[in-house]
Structure 1
Amino acid sequence: MKNSKTYSVPSKMIMLISFMVLFFLYVGCDEDDDIVTTPELEIKEVASGLVGPMGIETDAKGNIWVTESGTAVPDADNDTHNNNGKVILITPDGQKYDAIVNLESYANVHSDELQGTVHILRDGEMLYVLSGNHLYQANISNFKPGDTPLDAGSLPSEDVFAIVSKLPLASNPDHDSHSYNLTKGPDGDLYIADAGANAIVHRKGANDYTILAEIPAIPNPLFPGMGGPTVQSVPTSILYDGNAFLVTSLTGFPFPAGEAIIYKISLSGEVSVYQKGLTMLVDIVEGDNSNRLVAQHASSFKPASGFAPNSGSLIWTNGTNTTVLADGLSQPVAIKQVDDHTWYVTTLGDGSVIKVTYQ
């Protein structure tokens, strides 16, 4: 994610209204503030003490795989490529183990922001990891909790930045690239939401990348008071819904409230609007039969104080209406769907993984 280069369904309405009433009447916390429970919603912390938790996946054994972004703090040689990103494995009983270490982490030269280990995708025995400039590929079929962690330096990888930053893009005059999130398309290829290039990148094979679509900038409603006349889209996640890709946008600085858009992108690259009126979106998953579920990172941003604390949300959307499922979250980043009423969520603000269950 980065700053600008310059610095619900009508037939469910009664049920949803009832849910909101119950939410405000019955929300409660346990003694450790780990659980929020209502008759229909439970939020439980399953892991804490993580350092910059970002991407999340699960496997058939019930393990949770989470990335830690790293720090990009210069070392003694003033090398900003600190390479201390990780993938950790969390067992069903909550034990944490390093699974992949020494993943690339550095400060982006265009935004000065951390470009560390972000999202992951498990495809059978293969774990794809986006970190720094690179797409890493790790075969995890034989990895067991407690094994010596895999070293990123020994893994096959591809320099996405080197390729994408050279592609001609009207939306990327600074030749930036920040491969941030990814999914598998109907053709079996990988599709990457590039938050630096403001584009969806199609990986056809090893080191074979093309641009599927550019995501346009939008007018900045806070100009001239804050920021420039336009705001970058900053695509943050991508989901194939069976017909097209749905892509969320964070928007760049000054992160204007209500201006984040979910885009719909056809397999041929045609871009249209799926849903407007949202704020700082960072992920999207299948949801249930009627709605997709998106994560709002925060409700507002101020240069002096940053993102509003504990203002993140999970929000239902069907392309027309939106309804809050859960709010008061501490900077959610990624969602992993378990089934149509259960999700794991990484929360960057408090270094946790939470389990959200909605009946």
Structure 2
Amino acid sequence: MITKSVVAAVVGAAALLVPAVLIPAVPAAATPAVRTIATGLDNPRGITLGPPGEIYVAEAGRGGAGPCRPGPEGEACFGRSGAITVIKQGRQWRLQTKLPSLASRAGTEASGPSDVSLGADGRLHYTLGLGGSPDLRQQVPQLTGMAKLYRAGRTPAVLADLGAYETSANPDGVTPPDTNPNALLATRRGQLVVDAGGNSLLRVAPRGRISTVATFPRRTVAAPEGLPPGSPPAGTPIPMESVPTSVTRGPDGAFYVGELTGFPFPAGQARVWRIVPGKAPSVFATGFTNIIDLAWARDGRLYVLEIAHRGLLSGDRTGALLRVDRKGRHQVVASAGLTAPGGLAISGRSAYVTNCSVCAGTGSVVRISLGS
């Protein structure tokens, strides 16, 4: 059985290696120049903007010598290679190092630092993913520090144990529990965390209390052709989880969450949700493919980053940045040059994207002009 654990490493990016499924061609769009501003990163994921000229990037690392354990995409080995990198005025350096990381022996498709956010006090926070059952942390003691929210510092401070909350609360009700904190957003009332494994949006109050803001439901879809051996025949109705990956605050004050979708990762079926705390989530925009991040621009338009524009089972690692209008319609802004992108931030008329988010040592950050 294929479950949401298939998307553990980078919320599904490893599935890019599955044999291709036939998907209609997407017309080429005119794309602006993609300029590289940082290189040499290990599985770069979430990105945020700090004081003028500063950019922070979560590097999930490249695992290490072990211990190793079986994972949904093969053997995964532990190491302390995760980091938080700072980019400023053409320079880059690792501000926080030796953070937990779990990756293939090649160092790819890692779980580790997954997102970064600056609180109202200017202090840096970050999440550590896991991609599996919270019980893994008892089975492999080296994983104890994963699936948690931290405040950066010489000695990082644990602010919340998100894995423990998934075990005790299991907000989406899917069993067995699964946790993979993947996105982080600072608010005046604490931090919002998207747990891609738990299909939930969580709030961590300033004193560490965790509560559920929203959960995202399963859907039933038809199994496509060309799935791996042992999968259901084409056309068979199968359940598909939402797998939320990203959160941002809109100009209307509501929160917006993008979903990757779970297996079979159908092209064009990912959605953007609008969440007003205390009310049921509503769908804001549809027709996307495997969303990995969201950001609003100053002009009030939403931008959506897709990790795989043709779908995670297409065999094509090309991502895309899309612009969404106020009616939910969208168009591609940039695609060429984006390879399994993982994080998005916007400043003025520029988008900053972490590129090759499943790559060890060859990940980068690129800047894309959004035009006038």
Same fold (TM over 0.5): yes
| Matching of residue 292 in structure 1 with residue 302 in structure 2 | yes
Shift of 1:343: 1.5
- Which stretches in structure 1 are left out of the alignment for 5+ residues? 8-20, 28-40, 140-149
Task: Tell me the secondary structure at the aligned position of residue 308 of structure 1.
Answer: coil
Q: 2:125 corresponds to which residue?
A: 128
Shift of 1:5: 4.4
Flag the 1:114–1:22 CA change in 2: closer, same or farther, 3 A. closer
8 Å contact 1:56–1:120 — kept in the other structure?
yes
Flag the 1:218–1:202 CA change in 2: closer, same or farther, 3 A. same
Query: 1-side partners of 2:312 and 2:302: how far apart?
Result: 29
Q: 2:54 corresponds to which residue?
A: 63
| Matching of residue 182 in structure 1 with residue 192 in structure 2 | no
**CA displacement 1:41-60 (0-9 Å, x = unmatched):** 33211112211111112222
Query: 1-side partners of 2:265 and 2:68: how far apart?
Result: 35
**Aligned AA for 2:288?**
L
Task: Tell me the secondary structure at the aligned position of residue 166 of structure 1.
Answer: helix
RCO higher in 1 or 2 (8 Å CA, sep ≥ 6)?
2
**Aligned AA for 1:126?**
R
| Matching of residue 42 in structure 1 with residue 52 in structure 2 | no
| Match runs of 1:192-203 below 5 Å | 192-203=193-204
| Match runs of 1:217-296 below 5 Å | 217-222=218-223, 224-225=232-233, 229-241=238-250, 242-296=252-306
Query: 1-side partners of 2:278 and 2:67: how far apart?
Result: 48
TM-score by length of 2: 0.75
Q: 2:229 corresponds to which residue?
A: none
Query: 2-side partners of 1:76 and 1:218: how far apart?
Result: 36
8 Å contact 2:181–2:195 — kept in the other structure?
yes
**Aligned AA for 2:167?**
S
**CA displacement 1:269-304 (0-9 Å, x = unmatched):** 41111111110001111124242001011123465x
Task: Tell me the secondary structure at the aligned position of residue 176 of structure 2.
Answer: coil
Q: CA RMSD in A?
A: 2.8
| Matching of residue 356 in structure 1 with residue 365 in structure 2 | no
**CA displacement 1:217-260 (0-9 Å, x = unmatched):** 12223264369711111111111113311100001122110110
Query: 2-side partners of 1:74 and 1:268: how far apart?
Result: 45
Shift of 1:121: 0.4
Structure with higher Rg: it is 1
Flag the 1:271–1:240 CA change in 2: closer, same or farther, 3 A. same
Query: 2-side partners of 1:179 and 1:263: how far apart?
Result: 18
Q: 1:4 corresponds to which residue?
A: 4
Q: 1:37 corresponds to which residue?
A: none
Flag the 1:3–1:326 CA change in 2: closer, same or farther, 3 A. farther
- Count matched residues: 307
8 Å contact 2:290–2:312 — kept in the other structure?
no
